[in-house]
Amino acid sequence: MKNARATDFAVAALATWRVTHLLAREDGPADAVVRFRARLGDGVAGRAMDCFQCLSIWVAAPAAFIVARERRELVPAWLALSGAACLLEGRQPEPIVVEEHELEGGEADRMLWREASSA
């Protein structure tokens, strides 16, 4: 039975990656997905469609019901499927850079921003 659970998780993780990749990175058949993303605009849903990691959370939610055998397994399965999809995508978040600047009066001001990726 453990092999069936591992197989269910692997298939659900691959499906989560595939659907998330389609929605976030591809145009889709007859450009249907890219038109759908354009209709969503710059709102919360539109921005989520541009972020693989954000979108994988929502795509993994229904897949978690396939993987989880008990109610208490639902949230860990949900997060694990999203995490697996992110690992399969192979994109790492850009590092956060902390830089200190001295202000008037000798105070230090720390500035945070995402470092531009070189790839």
Rounded to two decimals, the pTM is 0.71
In-domain check, residue 31:
yes
Closest by CA position to 92, among listed 111, 115, 112, 110: 115
In-domain check, residue 119:
no
In-domain check, residue 97:
no
| C-alpha dist (Å) from residue 15 to 5, 74, 97 | 15, 17, 34
pLDDT (tens digit per residue) in 65-111:
999 999 999 999 999 999 999 999 986 555 555 566 566 666 555 55
In-domain check, residue 100:
no
pLDDT (tens digit per residue) in 31-46:
999 899 889 988 888 8
Domain count, the chain: 1
Where in the sequence is the domain holding 29, given as residue range(s)?
2-89
> Given a cut of 70, is residue 2 above it in pLDDT?
no
In-domain check, residue 34:
yes
